[in-house]
């Protein structure tokens, strides 16, 4: 018999089934929230993986399309590569969980989450976060949990706990906060320029809710939790550190890392490593762990320098930003381009505009998200960090960085009614030494403005770091962390926003949570830094969006027609719309609501296509003067095509103000003529005149 536990959470029942399925995993729970069901499992290898110096944690989030009653797309009709949403969800699960495992644990651990049923009012992503924590906490895998996660939305100024997909679609805030019993351990947010104080209020509303969930989880763990298994520690023996210090003194290590040039620092460490390898030649056991020991020695040195001496490796002040550079219009033929550089981090961003027919179709479990109009994609080639590494396509990190920069800019994009374009922004990492995602945000903002996208306000971003001591009060927040401070520090707190508020947050930490003073100081520092970046360099490169699009960007004209006229514009077997495209060279798209998008490079051709479409959908009325083409002649008159679906006749007596003996004396097939509508009879037949006196009236 399995055990079932329930609690009320934000107006819905959260139910946990233990020992119902997956008995051979280390820990498994079936989570229910509303009608959403997710299976979460934790499985660990029996022995540590050899030859690694990191904790091999893997997190999977599997979206099964049967959960929403759909067939998977594609020829095979089977789930394949994880969607971007699944990858981003797995990353959000990983970030709060990873710091709670022992630092010296080297057994493989897989956290697997399978979405079995989806209720649009209850987030499966949230349920997977909760399930991963609880499955691990009740397992025999060493884990300093549980942690809990809550999502917060905001509609009309009111906070909503764990909003459904419909509420998320209209919310001004999408915040996810994970907590331990004492502290906040992860923050992920997208917001419509939320003021800093309001964001902090939302974060700690979620933190309070997390405490209720943790209390619920602890009661389950007390009854169902397994005893944690012992493991082989990979910690470096203190004797190894002592011998290393006798070969390379702490002062020498400090001098080696104290430089603002990454390449010089790497060369210094390489030279010291060679001395240490030589010193340990006769100790095979120590030699095997020496690379990790050197890393730990360097880490301790950097942390001591920062925390105790307030000295950063590149000599900057604690709140000082690295040198900034910005420029636009690097690439002549693209629609918009910009370069942003901060220290040794450099991003080239390129913007491409396209008709709305190019929006990305999204096949997923959220019925409120079926397409994406704005895409931000991020690339991280090996040359950006001096590595001879071939590209194998975007990994989870690249997808995550692109999604963060995308989230940062969405709140300031113009509505589709004002700017009917699909927009693709691509960030190419030219050089990397810390926080390329924030440089991507700055570069993409300038690139969009250079392309003429009328964004409402500029957006910038910065990352703050943290080094902590033995107590909660012993810490130092760093503005604009470089790679070394990220690797050896305790936090990567990324915040983007405008002058008026926050648009996105992503917080990663390596410790067991942050106190409220640290969170508040990091958010304050991030605001000061982004304003400095906008005023100090971005404004000088480009202060506002260009009024005109690039001559190489497509021009788009939109018009709304009645839905019952869509068939008239398309025509039988598409012949009418094909003829318009062939005549004008324009690209024409019509959606089910009657929105017509006409795009191309030649504006005159687009206006002609619009004119033709209007002539099809608008009723012909007496008194109108129109232009048409002679398409057929009879002995009694000429037939003139007014639109692809409408012809009128000019009687021979109306061809001229003089007597006409033969129709061919005045017009020929293919002639462009101006005509006036004299009559539309009861049969819908259109009678026209070409007489000058009629056209003059």
The separation between the first and the last C-alpha atoms of the chain, rounded to the nearest angstrom, is 92
> What is the bridge-based pairing of β-strands 502-509 and 184-194?
antiparallel
**492 labelled ligand-binding:** yes
CB atoms within 10 A of CB 690: 20
CA distance 581 to 391: 40
CA distance 181 to 179: 7
Strand partners for 596 = 559, 590
Which tokens is 28 given?
Answer: 């498994």
* Residue in 34, 7, 4, 17 with CA at minimum distance from that of residue 216: 7
Long-range pairs for 273-277: beta carbons < 8 A, 24 or more residues apart: 275/247, 275/248, 276/244, 276/247, 276/248
Q: Look at the block and give the residue holding tokens 């619920």.
A: 216
Using CA atoms, how far residue 599 sits from 98, 195, 545, in Å, is 49, 39, 21
CA distance 597 to 614: 13
CA distance 294 to 180: 32
Determine phi and psi for 33, rounding to 5 degrees.
Answer: -145, 110
* Residue in 289, 284, 297, 210 with CA at minimum distance from that of residue 252: 297
Query: Measured on CA atoms in the order 67, 71, 75, 78, is the torsion positive or negative?
Result: positive
Stated as kind and residue range, the H or E segment containing 560 is strand 555-560
What are the DSSP calls for 305-367, one per residue?
HHHHH---TT---TTPPPPEEEEE--SSSSSEEEEEEETTEEEEEEEEEE-GGGPEE--SS-T
Q: Look at the block and give the residue holding tokens 């975007």.
A: 394
Whether residue 280 has a cis bond before it, omega within 30° of 0: no
Reduced to 3 states, what is the DSSP secondary structure of residue 273? helix
* Residue in 553, 626, 617, 628 with CA at minimum distance from that of residue 590: 617
Stated as kind and residue range, the H or E segment containing 299 is helix 284-309
Query: Measured on CA atoms in the order 203, 204, 209, 215, is the torsion positive or negative?
Result: positive
Angle at 306 between CA 300 and CA 308, to 5 degrees: 90
Q: Look at the block and give the residue holding tokens 């989030």.
A: 61
Long-range pairs for 22-29: beta carbons < 8 A, 24 or more residues apart: 25/135, 25/139, 26/139, 26/140, 26/141, 26/226, 27/134, 27/135, 27/136, 27/137, 27/138, 27/139, 27/140, 27/141, 27/226, 28/135, 29/131, 29/134, 29/135, 29/138
**Which distant-in-sequence residues (6+ apart) come within 8 Å of 619 by Cβ?**
none
Q: Report yes or no: 521 and 477 within 8 Å, Cβ to Cβ.
A: yes
CB atoms within 10 A of CB 575: 10
Q: Report yes or no: 377 and 424 within 8 Å, Cβ to Cβ.
A: yes
Stated as kind and residue range, the H or E segment containing 124 is helix 124-138
* Residue in 365, 378, 366 with CA at minimum distance from that of residue 407: 378
Angle at 359 between CA 357 and CA 362, to 5 degrees: 125
Question: Binding-site residues for Mg(2+), please?
Answer: 486, 492
Question: Binding-site residues, please?
Answer: 486, 492
């Amino acid at each position: 018999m399995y055990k079932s536990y329930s609690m009320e959470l934000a107006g819905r029942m959260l139910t946990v089934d233990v020992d119902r399925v997956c008995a051979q995993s280390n820990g498994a729970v079936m989570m229910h929230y509303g009608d959403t069901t997710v299976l979460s499992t934790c499985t660990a290898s029996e022995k540590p993986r050899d030859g690694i110096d990191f904790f091999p944690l893997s997190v999977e989030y599997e979206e099964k399309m049967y959960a929403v009653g759909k067939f998977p797309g594609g020829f095979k009709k089977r789930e394949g590569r994880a969607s971007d949403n699944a990858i981003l969800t797995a990353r959000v699960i990983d970030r709060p969980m990873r710091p709670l495992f022992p630092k010296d644990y080297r057994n493989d651990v897989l956290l697997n989450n399978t979405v079995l049923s989806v209720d649009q009012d209850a987030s499966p992503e949230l349920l997977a976060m909760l399930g991963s924590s609880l499955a691990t906490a009740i397992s025999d895998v060493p884990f300093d949990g549980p942690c809990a996660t809550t999502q917060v939305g905001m509609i009309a100024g009111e906070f909503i706990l764990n909003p459904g997909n419909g509420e998320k679609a209209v919310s001004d805030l999408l915040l996810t906060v994970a907590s331990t019993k004492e502290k906040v351990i992860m923050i992920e947010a997208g917001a419509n320029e939320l003021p800093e104080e309001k964001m902090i209020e939302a974060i700690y509303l979620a933190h309070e809710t997390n405490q209720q969930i943790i209390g619920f989880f602890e009661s389950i763990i007390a009854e169902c939790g397994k005893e944690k298994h012992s493991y082989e520690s990979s910690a470096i023996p203190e004797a190894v550190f002592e011998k290393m210090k006798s070969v390379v003194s702490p002062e020498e290590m400090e001098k080696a890392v104290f430089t603002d040039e990454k390449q010089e620092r790497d060369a210094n460490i390489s030279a010291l490593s060679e001395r240490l390898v030589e010193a340990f030649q006769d100790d095979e056991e120590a030699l095997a762990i020496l690379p990790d020991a050197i890393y730990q020695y360097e880490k301790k040195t950097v942390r001591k320098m920062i925390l105790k001496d307030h000295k950063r490796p590149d000599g900057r002040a604690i709140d000082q930003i690295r040198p900034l550079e910005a420029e636009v219009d690097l690439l002549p033929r693209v629609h918009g381009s910009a370069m942003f550089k901060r220290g040794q981090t450099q991003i080239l961003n390129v913007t491409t505009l396209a008709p709305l027919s190019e929006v990305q179709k999204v096949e997923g479990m959220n019925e409120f998200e079926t397409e994406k109009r704005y895409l931000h994609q991020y690339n991280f080639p090996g040359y950006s960090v001096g590595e001879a590494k071939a590209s194998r396509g975007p990994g989870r990190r690249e997808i995550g960085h692109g999604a963060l920069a995308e989230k940062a800019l969405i709140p300031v994009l113009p509505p589709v009614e004002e700017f009917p374009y699909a927009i693709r922004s691509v960030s190419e990492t030219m050089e990397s030494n810390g926080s390329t995602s924030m440089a991507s945000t700055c570069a993409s903002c300038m690139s969009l403005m250079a392309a003429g996208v009328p964004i409402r306000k500029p957006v910038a971003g910065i990352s703050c770091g943290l080094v902590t001591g033995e107590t909660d009060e012993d810490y130092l927040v760093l503005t604009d962390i470089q790679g070394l401070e990220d690797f050896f520090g305790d936090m990567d707190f990324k915040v983007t926003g405008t002058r008026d508020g926050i648009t996105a947050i992503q917080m990663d930490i390596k410790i067991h949570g942050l106190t409220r003073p640290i969170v508040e100081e990091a958010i304050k520092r991030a605001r000061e830094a982004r304003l400095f970046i906008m005023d100090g360099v971005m404004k000088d490169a480009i202060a506002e969006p260009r009024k005109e699009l690039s001559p190489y960007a497509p021009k788009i004209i939109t018009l709304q027609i009645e839905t019952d006229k869509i068939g008239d514009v398309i025509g039988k077997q598409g012949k009418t719309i094909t003829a318009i495209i062939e005549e004008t060279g324009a690209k024409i798209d019509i959606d089910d609501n009657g929105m017509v998008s006409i795009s191309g490079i030649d504006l005159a051709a687009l206006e002609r296509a619009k004119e033709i479409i209007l002539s099809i959908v608008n009723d012909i009325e007496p008194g109108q003067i129109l232009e048409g083409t002679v398409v057929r002649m009879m002995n009694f008159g000429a037939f003139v095509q007014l639109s692809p679906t409408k012809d009128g006749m000019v009687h021979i007596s109306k061809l001229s103000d003089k007597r006409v003996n033969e129709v061919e004396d005045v017009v020929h097939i293919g002639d462009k003529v101006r005509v006036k509508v004299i009559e539309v009879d009861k049969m819908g037949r259109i009678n026209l005149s070409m007489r000058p006196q009629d056209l003059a009236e």
